[in-house]
Structure 1
Amino acid sequence: MSETAVPQGANPSLPSAHGNRIWQPVLFRSMATLLFGIITVFFGSPDTLGLCLNFGWYFLVLAASHYWVVRRLVLPRGDTRRLALLGGAALLAVAGVVIFIAISAALAAWLGAVALALMGAAELFAARASDRSQLRSDWLISGVLGLGTGVLLPFFSGAGPHALLGVAGGGALMSGALWLLSSLTLRHDARQPKGT
């Protein structure tokens, strides 16, 4: 069966040419998120530098994975889901760079909170606007986790780097497990024959 362009309706699901490959960026996101969560578990006594370096790389890789997912979804340029998800990814990237450079626990807590909360809100918006997307239910759960982590982070800003990494890492472990299951499901669905 040849891969040809499929006309998209007003609310497209994954196009056939790209739908078979959406599991790859989702798997990448899950691996990066789980790695960050595992690092936070085993990082015994992090200082401010350790906190900022870990937040920095995590936000940058998370932003890249969101960008990759949006590219694979092939959403139209004016699509509000595309704009929301790319806006959230851009904020994550900027937050990662600023936190990496500034080396401040308070800034990491507040800027990380804003970036995670807005990315969570963008995922919730994308889920609400997507009634046929294969990622809808995953966006709903991940959006709630991101929003919850973002809301909690400022409350732990005075507790030190270990507490901040613990809160962010807990959300990352739950989100990473969700996206790992999602990527395996998407990969399994992509391997199924079209007629079944």
Structure 2
Amino acid sequence: MTPGAPLLWRPVLLRALVALAFGLTTVFWAEPGPLGMCLALAVYFLASAAGQYWIVRTMALPRRDSRRVMLQGAAGILAVGGVMVAISASSVVAAWLGGVALAVLGAAELFAAIRKPAGNSGEKLALASDWRISGVLAMGTGILLPFFAAAGPHAMLGVAGGGALMTGALWALSALTLRHDGGTAKAQ
């Protein structure tokens, strides 16, 4: 198990709550408009990037570990994408930049889930199976987002919010599992 795994549930829960809050916002927001959509996406991207960064820091992967580099780089790209989407206030820019940022995050999570550590130490990451699912969801959402740019802000928020709700449910279950497993390990 990865060092810091007993405390890993906290940043995972933060990421889940961010995704669920964004997803629920998109469900109940009837007419967001381009500016509202861009600001909502920007806040979601920035908060998700912060959660991802906190997760990687808590896992305490070695500095030269390619999984750490990929995950932190993807978090950085997601944060920059969030800032650019907020500045642009354009549906087309939000669709393409947001799509690329989500696809890069998904690819990084898939890479981290599949990549074996150097030296074949047999170390299994606590989130490897969750990253496989989350990576596919993020890549799928990122790939679909540009196709809905012409449909308007409500449709784009629907696509991004749907992906966020599924990802949020996954990360909430993961956080609860990590919390339970961490409590079991302390009791032994």
TM-score, with structure 1 as normaliser: 0.90
Moved over 4 A (4+): none
Query: Residue 109 in 1 paired to residue 101 in 2?
Result: no
Cα distance in structure 1, aligned partners of 2:185 and 2:162: 38
Q: Secondary structure at 1:158's aligned position in 2? A: coil
Query: Residue 153 in 1 paired to residue 139 in 2?
Result: no
Q: C-alpha displacement at 1:193, in angstroms?
A: 3.7
Q: Which residue of 1 aligns with 2:120?
A: none
Percent of aligned positions that are identical: 57
- Please tell me whether the aligned partners of residues 99 and 145 of structure 2 are also in contact (alpha carbons under 8 angstroms): yes
Cα distance in structure 2, aligned partners of 1:125 and 1:147: 12
Aligned pairs for 1:40-55 (under 5 A) are 40-55=26-41
Q: Which residue of 2 aligns with 1:78?
A: 64
Greater RCO, 1 or 2 (C-alpha within 8 Å, sep 6+): 2
Q: C-alpha displacement at 1:195, in angstroms?
A: 7.6
Aligned pairs for 1:29-44 (under 5 A) are 29-44=15-30
Pair member with larger Rg: 1
Q: C-alpha displacement at 1:22, in angstroms?
A: 0.3
- Please tell me whether the aligned partners of residues 5 and 126 of structure 2 are also in contact (alpha carbons under 8 angstroms): no
Give unpaired runs (5+ residues) of structure 1. Answer: 1-12
Give unpaired runs (5+ residues) of structure 2. Answer: 117-122
Q: Which residue of 1 aligns with 2:177?
A: 185
Q: Which residue of 1 aligns with 2:79?
A: 93
Cα distance in structure 1, aligned partners of 2:100 and 2:5: 31
Residue 63 of structure 1, aligned match among 49, 52, 74:
49
Cα distance in structure 2, aligned partners of 1:57 and 1:104: 15
**Paired amino acid for 1:78:** R
Cα distance in structure 1, aligned partners of 2:134 and 2:160: 13
Range 86-95 or range 131-140, more displaced: 131-140
Cα distance in structure 2, aligned partners of 1:162 and 1:193: 45
